[in-house]
Amino acid sequence: MLRRILGVSVCTLFAAMVVGVPLLSLADVPVEPRGNGRANRRPAPPASDGAVMAPVRVNHQAPGAAAEGAVARIVIPRAYLQELLASGAVSPALPIGSGSGNGSGPHYGTLVAGIALALAIASVPFVLRGRRATRQLVAASLLFVVVLGGWTWAYGDLIPGRPGGPPRRPAPPAGAQISLEIVEEGETVQLWVKPQGR
Amino acid sequence: MGEAAGAVAIQPADHEPAERRGRRQKPGTHPAVWTTWFAAAALLGVAWGVACAPLGVSVVAVFLFAGPHNWCEARYFLSRLPGRLGPLAPFFAVGFGGTVLLAATFALLPLGARWGAWSESTWTTAIAGWNTALILWIAGLAEWRKRLPPYRDWPWVLPVALLLIAVNWLAPSYVSLALVYLHPILALVFLDRELGRRHSPWRTAYRRAVVLLPVALVGIALALRDAPALAGADVLTLQIQRHAGAEIVPWISPQVLVAWHAYLELLHYGVWVLAVPLFVVQAPPWNVATAPLARRSLPWRRALVAVVAAGALLVVSLWGAFLVDYPFTRDLYFTIALLHVLAEAPMLLRIL
């Protein structure tokens, strides 16, 4: 009887994990740097083949009257742009999405992997069913689930808005625009970003 | 009377497992003792040799043993196939049918990529798809094997297969590389099972020696940790580095990867060319008289002789092709050799 109760409990727990974890996780929750080693957990998207790295002076000030209504303003000196074009570092028309990838799985690989992983977890109770050492296995599985669940709760980016957790993703401003200016003077690219909360 | 008594006294000892008999011998004279030392010395000595010249060992080992080890392995498979397959026929049909199908598909992938001008994403998807088919095929065979006598209790087959498929779709190239490194280790499992099946006194020595394998691998890594990159940017050097996974795991020195791969390949060749014919088949590869299939009928025996003769011809042809164009032959060999890699799956599952 006890074995049956434990078996049903484990099945329910695994089923809850399979169904519940994907429901709780939100893929687009922005990650705020919190604590040691937690910064930049989500790296920037890979640059396309034609992209170049350029030094930028960042001004955390409102873009100014010249860029009324824009969330950011990028000022590029004409001489610097011509230098880049002349060096061949960038082509006049950059292909969008022409990057060859980073060698990992295909872009929908995570989808297939997620389904396979969910099925693997869901099939674990069938392994435990009818085993002689069910009690030990169930105890070990429960411990594993509790430890993993606790770790996920503590360090995962689940449930936005919880105390100390990541903020909810702010709604994008309607009709957000970036002001791009080519100016005659200057040598450095400047980025003007409106500080958050102002 | 005395003779008769002596004969009666000797007879049970002959029928005793060799391992139990060995325990009565004087300490230090048991074959397991000196064999352990010999096997350990051989394992570490080969590791030292490989660490001294990884690239050279890799080239010479493949040249010398690639063909003969396939020949010996085929002879072993013939010795393990029952004379009449009976209820095992569907299992082996799916096993060997899948082997041919998967190997053919794998060989066609690069051709498809060239003709269809596949993008990197398409190529990665194709590799992930092929790996998935391989995992499902092995898992299917394992599930089938469970239900064949002697019955096995392997409830973990499905979860492990699904977990591997998940890992495969996240990083297909790592699963392909794992296949490259796991295949030589399978030979060690074959030998262990066969020694166990025969209650061989060598099994204890063998197991003790195999424990040293991780030590040898770590030793190779330590010896080559500061080694410079492999000299030369010729096709062969690049080919060997790529096969060992230098592009997939760039954080490990290519020298270490090439040495690891060459070392495991050497052990694999040693098992199939030396250990299996000596301790398992106990007959030279050209002698098929003891194979169960050969005892079935005269035509079967002639067919087996023809197969072994054709194998010998292929071995000699492979040596000739290596002498003419080593890099091309090596590339072609490792593509076709997938057949014997895959054929090991149903054979191993059968003897487990």
> Within a 13 Å sphere around the CA of B103, how many CA atoms are in the beta-carbon half?
20
Residue B141 distance to chain A (closest CA, Å): 18
Residue type for position A186: G
Q: Is B250 on the interface with A (CB under 8 A)?
A: no
Task: Give A140-148 contacts, CB < 8 A, sequence gap 24+.
Answer: A141/A10, A142/A10, A142/A13, A145/A13, A145/A14, A145/A17
Q: Label each residue of chain A as H, E or C.
A: CHHHHHHHHHHHHHHHHHHHHHHHCCCCCCCCCCCCCCCCCCCCCCCCCCCCCCCEEEECCCCCHHHCCCCEEEEEEHHHHHHHHHHCCCCCCCCCCCCCCCCCCCCCHHHHHHHHHHHHHHHHHHHHCCCCCHHHHHHHHHHHHHHHHHHHHHHCCCCCCCCCCCCCCCCCCCCCCEEEEEECCCCCEEEEECCCCC
Interface of B with A in 158-217 (CB under 8 A): 158-160, 162-163, 165-173
Residue A119 distance to chain B (closest CA, Å): 7
Residue in chain B closest to A112 (alpha carbons) equals B169
Q: Per residue in A126-169, pLDDT tens?
A: 777 766 666 777 788 788 878 888 887 776 655 555 555 555 55
Exposed / middle / buried, residue B278 (Cβ in 10 Å: 0-12, 13-18, 19+): exposed
- Picking from A106, A112, A120, the nearest residue to B121 by CB comes out as A106
Between chains, do A123 and B124 touch, taking CB under 8 Å as contact?
A: no
CB A114 within 8 A of CB A22: yes
Residue type for position B304: L
C-alpha closest to that of B101 among B349, B347, B343, B352: B343
Which pLDDT value is given to residue B16?
Answer: 43
pLDDT over 50 (residue A29): no
Residue A104 distance to chain B (closest CA, Å): 5
Strands laid side by side in the A189-193 sheet:
A56-59, A189-193, A72-77, A178-183
Bridge partners, A189 (sequence order): A56
Other Cβ atoms less than 10 A from the Cβ of B4: the count is 8
Q: Is B28 on the interface with A (CB under 8 A)?
A: no
Other Cβ atoms less than 10 A from the Cβ of B347: the count is 20
pLDDT over 50 (residue A38): no
Residue in chain A closest to B248 (alpha carbons) equals A103
Residues on A contacting B at a C-beta cutoff of 8 Å: 100-101, 103-107, 109-110, 112-114, 116-117, 119-121, 123-124, 126-127, 131
Between chains, do B170 and A127 touch, taking CB under 8 Å as contact?
A: no
CB B334 within 8 A of CB B243: yes
Mean pLDDT by 10 residues, chain B (352 residues): 36 41 50 77 90 92 94 90 86 94 93 86 91 96 90 88 92 92 93 87 85 93 82 79 87 91 94 89 82 87 91 94 93 89 91 86
Which pLDDT value is given to residue A19?
Answer: 61
Q: Report the alpha-carbon angle A36-A42-A44, nearest 5.
A: 125
CB B203 within 8 A of CB B19: yes
Q: Which residues contact B103 (CB under 8 A, 6 or more apart)?
A: B336, B338, B339, B342
Which pLDDT value is given to residue B352?
Answer: 85
The whole-model pTM stands at: 0.68
Which of B85 and A24 is assigned the larger pLDDT? B85
- Picking from B125, B155, B166, the nearest residue to A113 by CB comes out as B166
Pull the structure tokens for residue B351.
């003897």
Q: Report the alpha-carbon angle A121-A127-A129, nearest 5.
A: 115
The single-letter DSSP state of residue B275 is: I
C-alpha closest to that of B143 among B119, B120, B160: B160
Residue A115 distance to chain B (closest CA, Å): 8
**Kind and range of the H or E run holding B220:** helix B212-223
C-alpha closest to that of B349 among B103, B145, B88, B143: B145
Residue A100 distance to chain B (closest CA, Å): 7
CA-to-CA distance for B345 and B330, rounded, in angstroms?
A: 23
Residue A134 distance to chain B (closest CA, Å): 13
Exposed / middle / buried, residue A8 (Cβ in 10 Å: 0-12, 13-18, 19+): exposed
Which pLDDT value is given to residue A196?
Answer: 59
- Picking from A101, A104, A126, the nearest residue to B171 by CB comes out as A104
Which pLDDT value is given to residue A112?
Answer: 87
Contact list in A for residue B165 (CB cut-off 8 A) is 112-113, 116
Between chains, do A109 and B172 touch, taking CB under 8 Å as contact?
A: yes
CB B50 within 8 A of CB B217: no
Between chains, do A103 and B173 touch, taking CB under 8 Å as contact?
A: yes
Contact list in B for residue A101 (CB cut-off 8 A) is 120-121, 124
Which pLDDT value is given to residue A31?
Answer: 45
Which pLDDT value is given to residue B9?
Answer: 35
Q: Which of B130, B169, B242, B251 to mutate to test the interface with A (most CBs of A within 10 A)?
A: B169
Residue in chain A closest to B169 (alpha carbons) equals A109
Q: Is B155 on the interface with A (CB under 8 A)?
A: yes
- Picking from A109, A127, A131, the nearest residue to B170 by CB comes out as A109
Residue in chain B closest to A129 (alpha carbons) equals B155
Which pLDDT value is given to residue A34?
Answer: 45
Pull the structure tokens for residue B136.
């499902």
The pairing of strands A56-59 and A189-193 is parallel
Interface of B with A in 108-147 (CB under 8 A): 119-121, 124-125, 128
Question: Where is average pLDDT lowest: A28-32, A85-89, A101-105, A165-169?
Answer: A28-32
Between chains, do A113 and B169 touch, taking CB under 8 Å as contact?
A: yes
Average pLDDT, chain A: 67
